[in-house]
Amino acid sequence: MSKLILLRHLQSQWNKENRFTGWTDVSLSEEGIKSAKEVAGKLAGFKIDKVYTSPLIRNKETVSLILENLGKKDLPLVVDKALDERNYGKLQGLNKDEMKKKYGEKQVKLWRRSWDQAPPEGESLKDVFDRAVPFYKKYVEKDLKERKNVLVVASHNSLRALVKYLENISDEDIINLEMPTGSLKEYDF
Protein backbone atom coordinates (compact mmCIF):
# COMPACT_ATOMS: atom_id res chain seq x y z
CA MET A 1 0.00 0.00 0.00
CA SER A 2 1.11 3.56 -0.69
CA LYS A 3 -0.13 6.90 0.56
CA LEU A 4 -0.78 10.21 -1.18
CA ILE A 5 -0.85 13.33 0.96
CA LEU A 6 -2.04 16.63 -0.50
CA LEU A 7 -0.98 19.74 1.42
CA ARG A 8 -2.11 23.26 0.58
CA HIS A 9 0.73 25.71 1.12
CA LEU A 10 0.90 27.62 4.38
CA GLN A 11 -0.68 31.09 4.56
CA SER A 12 0.93 33.55 2.14
CA GLN A 13 1.12 37.30 2.63
CA TRP A 14 -1.63 37.81 0.04
CA ASN A 15 -3.83 35.14 1.65
CA LYS A 16 -3.53 37.20 4.82
CA GLU A 17 -4.40 40.39 2.89
CA ASN A 18 -7.36 38.68 1.16
CA ARG A 19 -5.95 39.27 -2.32
CA PHE A 20 -6.19 37.14 -5.45
CA THR A 21 -2.72 35.63 -5.79
CA GLY A 22 -2.81 33.30 -8.78
CA TRP A 23 0.54 33.21 -10.53
CA THR A 24 1.96 36.17 -8.61
CA ASP A 25 4.96 34.94 -6.65
CA VAL A 26 4.20 35.88 -3.04
CA SER A 27 6.07 34.66 0.04
CA LEU A 28 4.54 33.14 3.13
CA SER A 29 3.22 35.41 5.88
CA GLU A 30 4.75 35.38 9.37
CA GLU A 31 1.71 33.40 10.51
CA GLY A 32 2.25 30.90 7.71
CA ILE A 33 5.89 30.43 8.68
CA LYS A 34 4.97 30.02 12.36
CA SER A 35 2.37 27.35 11.50
CA ALA A 36 4.95 25.11 9.79
CA LYS A 37 5.88 23.24 12.98
CA GLU A 38 2.23 22.40 13.75
CA VAL A 39 1.49 21.26 10.18
CA ALA A 40 4.71 19.22 10.07
CA GLY A 41 3.57 17.57 13.31
CA LYS A 42 0.52 16.22 11.48
CA LEU A 43 2.88 14.55 8.99
CA ALA A 44 5.35 13.23 11.56
CA GLY A 45 3.94 9.68 11.54
CA PHE A 46 4.12 9.29 7.76
CA LYS A 47 7.00 7.89 5.75
CA ILE A 48 7.41 10.22 2.76
CA ASP A 49 9.44 9.00 -0.21
CA LYS A 50 8.99 11.84 -2.69
CA VAL A 51 7.65 15.39 -2.81
CA TYR A 52 6.03 17.29 -5.69
CA THR A 53 5.39 21.02 -5.74
CA SER A 54 5.13 24.02 -8.05
CA PRO A 55 7.78 26.70 -8.61
CA LEU A 56 5.69 29.34 -6.83
CA ILE A 57 7.66 30.58 -3.82
CA ARG A 58 4.82 30.00 -1.32
CA ASN A 59 4.78 26.32 -2.28
CA LYS A 60 8.57 25.92 -2.25
CA GLU A 61 8.83 27.73 1.11
CA THR A 62 6.15 25.43 2.54
CA VAL A 63 8.05 22.34 1.34
CA SER A 64 11.30 23.65 2.80
CA LEU A 65 9.78 24.47 6.20
CA ILE A 66 7.82 21.22 6.46
CA LEU A 67 10.78 19.02 5.50
CA GLU A 68 13.09 20.97 7.82
CA ASN A 69 10.66 20.45 10.72
CA LEU A 70 10.43 16.76 9.86
CA GLY A 71 14.21 16.44 9.60
CA LYS A 72 13.85 15.16 6.01
CA LYS A 73 15.53 17.81 3.88
CA ASP A 74 17.08 15.28 1.50
CA LEU A 75 13.90 13.79 0.02
CA PRO A 76 13.58 13.69 -3.79
CA LEU A 77 11.74 16.84 -4.90
CA VAL A 78 10.04 17.48 -8.24
CA VAL A 79 9.08 21.09 -9.08
CA ASP A 80 6.68 21.65 -11.99
CA LYS A 81 4.43 24.46 -13.22
CA ALA A 82 1.61 21.96 -13.82
CA LEU A 83 0.92 22.29 -10.07
CA ASP A 84 0.73 26.11 -10.10
CA GLU A 85 -2.34 27.92 -8.82
CA ARG A 86 -4.89 29.03 -11.38
CA ASN A 87 -4.13 32.25 -13.21
CA TYR A 88 -6.59 34.81 -11.85
CA GLY A 89 -6.00 37.11 -14.82
CA LYS A 90 -7.12 40.70 -14.25
CA LEU A 91 -8.08 39.87 -10.64
CA GLN A 92 -4.52 39.04 -9.55
CA GLY A 93 -3.41 41.36 -6.76
CA LEU A 94 -6.90 42.75 -6.15
CA ASN A 95 -8.81 42.49 -2.87
CA LYS A 96 -11.46 39.76 -2.90
CA ASP A 97 -13.99 41.75 -0.85
CA GLU A 98 -13.65 44.77 -3.17
CA MET A 99 -14.23 42.53 -6.19
CA LYS A 100 -17.37 41.12 -4.51
CA LYS A 101 -18.68 44.68 -4.14
CA LYS A 102 -17.83 45.48 -7.76
CA TYR A 103 -19.03 42.26 -9.47
CA GLY A 104 -21.30 40.66 -6.87
CA GLU A 105 -20.61 37.82 -4.47
CA LYS A 106 -22.17 35.20 -6.75
CA GLN A 107 -20.00 36.11 -9.74
CA VAL A 108 -16.80 36.16 -7.71
CA LYS A 109 -17.64 32.74 -6.24
CA LEU A 110 -18.16 31.39 -9.75
CA TRP A 111 -14.78 32.76 -10.83
CA ARG A 112 -13.08 31.29 -7.75
CA ARG A 113 -14.79 27.91 -7.33
CA SER A 114 -16.86 26.84 -10.35
CA TRP A 115 -15.71 24.26 -12.86
CA ASP A 116 -15.71 26.20 -16.11
CA GLN A 117 -15.98 29.94 -15.43
CA ALA A 118 -12.68 31.79 -15.62
CA PRO A 119 -12.02 35.27 -14.23
CA PRO A 120 -11.32 37.91 -16.91
CA GLU A 121 -8.20 36.80 -18.83
CA GLY A 122 -7.61 33.99 -16.31
CA GLU A 123 -8.04 30.24 -15.99
CA SER A 124 -11.06 28.17 -15.00
CA LEU A 125 -10.72 25.15 -12.73
CA LYS A 126 -11.19 23.05 -15.87
CA ASP A 127 -8.07 24.70 -17.34
CA VAL A 128 -6.11 23.87 -14.17
CA PHE A 129 -7.48 20.30 -14.22
CA ASP A 130 -6.32 19.92 -17.84
CA ARG A 131 -2.70 20.61 -16.83
CA ALA A 132 -2.53 19.23 -13.26
CA VAL A 133 -4.25 15.87 -13.75
CA PRO A 134 -2.18 14.67 -16.76
CA PHE A 135 0.96 15.56 -14.77
CA TYR A 136 -0.42 13.63 -11.78
CA LYS A 137 -1.23 10.59 -13.94
CA LYS A 138 2.19 10.58 -15.61
CA TYR A 139 4.38 11.04 -12.51
CA VAL A 140 2.59 10.80 -9.17
CA GLU A 141 0.45 7.77 -10.05
CA LYS A 142 3.58 6.00 -11.28
CA ASP A 143 5.26 6.58 -7.91
CA LEU A 144 2.16 5.41 -6.04
CA LYS A 145 2.06 2.21 -8.13
CA GLU A 146 5.71 1.67 -7.13
CA ARG A 147 4.50 1.80 -3.48
CA LYS A 148 6.09 5.18 -2.79
CA ASN A 149 4.43 7.55 -0.33
CA VAL A 150 4.04 10.92 -2.03
CA LEU A 151 3.51 14.42 -0.64
CA VAL A 152 2.12 17.00 -3.05
CA VAL A 153 2.41 20.60 -1.82
CA ALA A 154 0.53 22.98 -4.05
CA SER A 155 -1.97 25.80 -4.29
CA HIS A 156 -5.71 25.75 -3.74
CA ASN A 157 -7.02 25.20 -7.25
CA SER A 158 -4.37 22.76 -8.43
CA LEU A 159 -5.21 20.66 -5.36
CA ARG A 160 -8.96 21.09 -5.95
CA ALA A 161 -8.40 19.77 -9.49
CA LEU A 162 -6.58 16.71 -8.13
CA VAL A 163 -9.25 16.07 -5.48
CA LYS A 164 -11.95 16.36 -8.18
CA TYR A 165 -10.15 13.68 -10.15
CA LEU A 166 -9.36 11.41 -7.17
CA GLU A 167 -12.84 11.59 -5.65
CA ASN A 168 -14.73 11.85 -8.95
CA ILE A 169 -16.50 15.03 -7.82
CA SER A 170 -19.06 16.31 -10.31
CA ASP A 171 -18.61 19.59 -12.20
CA GLU A 172 -21.57 21.00 -10.24
CA ASP A 173 -20.40 19.89 -6.77
CA ILE A 174 -16.77 21.01 -7.06
CA ILE A 175 -17.86 24.58 -6.23
CA ASN A 176 -18.31 23.42 -2.60
CA LEU A 177 -14.76 22.11 -2.10
CA GLU A 178 -12.51 24.33 0.00
CA MET A 179 -9.03 23.53 1.30
CA PRO A 180 -7.75 26.03 3.87
CA THR A 181 -4.07 26.99 3.89
CA GLY A 182 -1.98 24.36 5.64
CA SER A 183 -4.70 21.70 5.33
CA LEU A 184 -4.05 18.05 4.46
CA LYS A 185 -5.94 15.39 2.53
CA GLU A 186 -4.79 11.77 2.63
CA TYR A 187 -5.46 8.91 0.25
CA ASP A 188 -4.46 5.24 0.52
CA PHE A 189 -3.66 3.29 -2.64
Active site residues: 9, 85
d(CA 187, CA 6): 8
Beta-sheet pairing, 3-8 with 184-188: antiparallel
Residue 7 identity:
L
- 60 annotated ligand binder: no
Residue 27 makes CB contacts below 8 A (sequence gap 6+) with 12, 13, 57, 58, 61
112 is in an annotated binding site: yes
Q: Determine whether the annotation assigns residue 167 to a binding site.
A: no
**Is 85 annotated as contributing to ligand binding?**
yes
Q: Any binding-site annotation on 123?
A: no
Q: Who contacts 92 (Cβ-Cβ below 8 Å, separation ≥6)?
A: 20, 21, 22, 23, 24, 122
Helix (H, G, I), strand (E, B) or coil at 110: helix
User: Is 96 among the annotated ligand-binding positions?
Assistant: yes
Residue 117, annotated ligand binder?
no
Is residue 8 annotated as involved in ligand binding? yes
Phi/psi for 109 (5° steps) reads: -65, -40
Binding residues: 8-15, 21-22, 58, 85-88, 96, 112-113
Q: Which residues are annotated as a binding site for substrate?
A: 8-15, 21-22, 58, 85-88, 96, 112-113
